[in-house]
Amino acid sequence: MTVLGILKDGRLITSTAIARTPLAATTPTAISVTVTDLRKVEYVLSVQLMGDANAVLTAGGTSVYGNVVGVTVNSGAGTTVFGQMICVGF
């Protein structure tokens, strides 16, 4: 977790690593990420996903509950997913 900046109103912009392995199915898979630098995530600015060399990844919807962000990921079976998420909160 890294604090990237502080807004004038005191909210933080943070970067959080995503690392999940492996995705077992070709159906959409839910991944949850805890943003430990924040007590509450207000919104997600960016989700960047990477995978194995031939993997095609797409991020679906995101949902936020406190400092936990859920992301739906579509990929092939057995694909390792990693990347980062940039959030704003306090």
Paired strand residues for 47? 85
| pLDDT of 6 above 70 | yes
* pLDDT given for residue 86 in this prediction: 96
12-60 pLDDT tens trace: 999 999 887 666 766 788 888 999 999 999 999 999 988 877 777 877 8
85 phi, psi to nearest 5 deg:
-130, 135
* pLDDT given for residue 72 in this prediction: 86
Contacts of 61 (CB under 8 A, 6+ apart): 71, 72
Range of the domain at 11: 2-89
Contacts of 56 (CB under 8 A, 6+ apart): 75, 76
- pTM summary value: 0.84
> C-alpha angle 24/52/79, rounded to 5°?
5
Q: What is the DSSP letter of 10?
A: S
| pLDDT of 65 above 70 | yes
- Structural domain total, the chain: 1
